[in-house]
Structure 1
Amino acid sequence: MARLRSLVRTSRRWSIRRWWTEGTRGTESSRRTPARRGISGEHGPCGGARGSLGFESNPNPPAAARCPPRCPMIRGPGNRQKRAARSKESSMRDLEDRIQAIEDRTAIVELTGRYCHMARTGNVEGIVDLFCEDGVMESGDTCEKGHERLLGVYREAFSGLRPLPCVHNHDITLDGDHATGCTSVEIRMVHEGEAITAAGHYDDTFRRVGSDWKFEHRDLTIYHQVPHLKGWA
């Protein structure tokens, strides 16, 4: 009886080993031999057997053999909408920044032009109001800071002559609420009945105060200042 039981156990072990070996060989063979599409009895990429026309004969293949779903992070319509929204938002910010830069440059150019008109009319208080409270005006050996000192400088400068400045060639660099610029200037004036011509440029530093741009520092460099009849060269 014991011998019979031993033979049964041995037979079972050999049967299991044979089943496992044949199954493994079959799997390796199927892996090495790619299936052709459209041939009856073969399996498609999704696990179902294909008929002679290549259609799936098994509409419900095993879950493990089904094709994986598309990744929503790559092709989902919701992600396309999000990307489009982000792109639109970025474009709007870029457009707003460009419009703001145009407005700032225009305001600074108008500031320099307003300075010329104030000088032409002799409006000392108006000129000083174009400067920051701690604004500086520098020209040659003269360097004054603050509204009180600037009032004295311009009153003295306009006491004996009336300049007619014309500015052009604006070169402005923006940096948030600050800016720098270089502006060419030609000045015509009459001194003791004689026409005088001068030319030079301003090196300016600007600052945004509230919603307005003002001069933080003006440095005037004069190239020449000579009688008009004599000429500058």
Structure 2
Amino acid sequence: MSTSIESVSARVHDAVAAYAQALDAGRIGDLADLFWPDGVAEIAGIGTFEGQEAIREGYASFVPTQPQLHLVANTVVTSWTEDEATAVSNLAFFQRGDSGWAVQLVGRYDDTLRRQNDEWRFQRRVTTFQP
């Protein structure tokens, strides 16, 4: 089966967007399902979660208590094969408080995604923050 960069890029963008949507809605189970069973989520200054159950438990402390929004932009597929892709994205995290929406942090995602059959999931997601 031949996989084009356009097809890979579309699937990577879908996974990146699904992650942000699930995180902002507090759907931690859906977020963990975006990773392979042996997937890894590494968040600078917070921790590394290995495996879906650890990801589910680790992200449970991130369930929103007020409206929030992760804006992810400039996603670029940096390398790809038929079964694996790496990508980098910029992110800005907003929360809504009494005075409206405010940027809480900016950062970057460095991703490795793997494909099995027609399903692309995160193998590793590294989140870093900009000072």
Shorter-chain TM-score category?
0.7 to 0.9
Q: Percent identity, aligned pairs only?
A: 24
Could you tell me which runs of 5 or more consecutive residues in structure 2 were left unpaired when the two chains were aligned: none
How many positions carry a matched residue from both structures? 127
Q: Which residue is equivalent to 1:178?
A: 84
**Secondary structure at the residue paired with 1:135?**
strand
| Cα offset, 1:161, TM superposition | 5.0
Given the superposition, is the C-alpha separation of residues 183 and 196 from structure 1 closer, same or farther in structure 2, using an over 3 Å criterion?
closer
1:147 corresponds to: 52
Deviations 1:132-181 (A, max 9, x none): 10110111140010011111111111254553101111110212201111
> Unaligned 5+ residue runs, structure 1?
1-95, 225-233
CA 1:197–1:159 in structure 2 vs 1: closer, same or farther (change >3 Å)? closer
Structure of greater Rg: 1
SS in structure 1 at match of 2:49: strand
Whether the 8 Å CA contact 1:119–1:162 is kept in 2: the answer is no
Segments ≥4 residues shifted beyond 6 Å: none
**Structure whose residues are more often strand by fraction:** 2
Equivalent position to 2:21, from 117, 134, 142: 117
Pick 1 or 2: higher relative contact order, CA cutoff 8 A, min separation 6.
2
What TM-score comes out, normalization by structure 1 length? 0.50
CA RMSD, aligned part only?
A: 2.0
The aligned residue for residue 200 of structure 1 is 107
TM-score for the superposition, normalised by structure 2: 0.86
